[in-house]
Structure 1
């Protein structure tokens, strides 16, 4: 996988490629699935942005056209499939972003798509993230303590106090997740999803 292809991926691009790992789709189905899954928690979803993203991914050779549907009175819909390069790009992007602590918005998407990695690799990347979080938490904790010892006014420390609390909470959550992953208490990996009735119904509704 070429590094520049991964560098050019947007969060929307990653999510489109991840959707196509589930099966071939047209952009209208992608939009409906994203909204049904409340992915707008992570990114802003508009038809225009998604169609533009699909076009860019196609030009980059990460997805391929399968054909055009002209059923009934519906507008023409082009169905896309994931190219091998696109499959590799999702994995490479998640590998890059999962251990990083300096891009929290991208981390949320990497975490949402981390199931595209195998369990052992996910654990290794999250442990790397944990090490970085421990260091960052220590800096905030020690800095806060030092500032208070110097009688720095509390009102100028509230942001640091909040960040220290968030880092502490994330470390507790991450330790819990790592315990569950290592105990294999959570199904994991690209093939771990059952082809459930709920999933099939969701896909069918998005295709209408």
Structure 2
């Protein structure tokens, strides 16, 4: 089993955050809450610290020192290792394509900006093909069920799924269109780490 296979969605978010800078867990938790990443994953202190410990044992992150600020508890700062960077990249690439894993896909989308634009386009085009085939199959099954006289009351969930399929495909097509546009900023070119908003978030997370 590869390092990417052992990663959890929360572990990937920790590794991706450490691409920005070395941080201690308290700052990472604060930053995730400021950015509302807890919309994607349930975030508790216990689970977070356990995840950090697992990543360190796996060699995906490494301690860079312990600090104490006044009367506050000691805080260990962690940095991303090359193995951690590679594992996070592999996980995001895999989950951008895989279907039927909504939480993993949301995390992969949230961290896709760490990949090159052309890579993201190619991966999402593969996902689009898989989703399209699955949606067509489900849509035909719904048509067939109605043609054989199955009452609508038994097809409500299937009808909802067809609507969600259509919405998912429409969003993906629109996003791919924006991403193919060279005027759409992506990755380092978006200048996120130098923006006033980013710097304010980092400052607030350290307090």
Q: What interval of TM-score do these two structures reach, taking the shorter chain for normalisation?
A: over 0.9
Q: Deviations over 1:147-174 (max 9, x none)?
A: 0010101111111111111111111111
Moved beyond 2 Å, runs of 4+: 189-194
1:110-129, aligned counterparts within 5 Å?
A: 110-129=108-127
Secondary structure of 2:160 counterpart: helix
Q: Deviations over 1:30-68 (max 9, x none)?
A: 100111111111111011111110000001000010100
State the Cα distance separating 1:71 from its structure 2 match: 1.7
User: 1:191 & 1:64 partners in 2: Cα distance?
Assistant: 28
How big is the alpha-carbon RMSD for the aligned residues of Structure 1 and Structure 2?
1.1
Contact 1:117–1:190, Cα closer than 8 Å, also in 2: no
Aligned residue number for residue 147 of structure 1: 145
User: 2:183 & 2:142 partners in 1: Cα distance?
Assistant: 37
Aligned residue number for residue 79 of structure 2: 81
1:44-193, aligned counterparts within 5 Å?
A: 44-190=42-188, 192-193=190-191
User: 2:189 & 2:59 partners in 1: Cα distance?
Assistant: 24
State the Cα distance separating 1:102 from its structure 2 match: 1.8
**TM-score, L = length of structure 2:** 0.97
1:191-202, aligned counterparts within 5 Å?
A: 192-194=190-192, 195-202=194-201
**TM-score, L = length of structure 1:** 0.96
Q: Which moved more, 1:83-92 or 1:187-196?
A: 187-196
Secondary structure of 1:72 counterpart: coil
Report the CA distance shift for 1:51/1:79 in structure 2 as closer, same or farther (over 3 A).
same
State the Cα distance separating 1:192 from its structure 2 match: 3.4
User: 1:107 & 1:204 partners in 2: Cα distance?
Assistant: 29
Aligned residue number for residue 38 of structure 1: 36
Contact 1:66–1:78, Cα closer than 8 Å, also in 2: yes
Q: Which moved more, 1:78-87 or 1:178-187?
A: 178-187
Whether 2:11 is the aligned partner of 1:13: answer yes
What is the number of residues matched between the two proteins? Answer: 206
User: 2:27 & 2:197 partners in 1: Cα distance?
Assistant: 16
Gaps of 5+ in 1: none
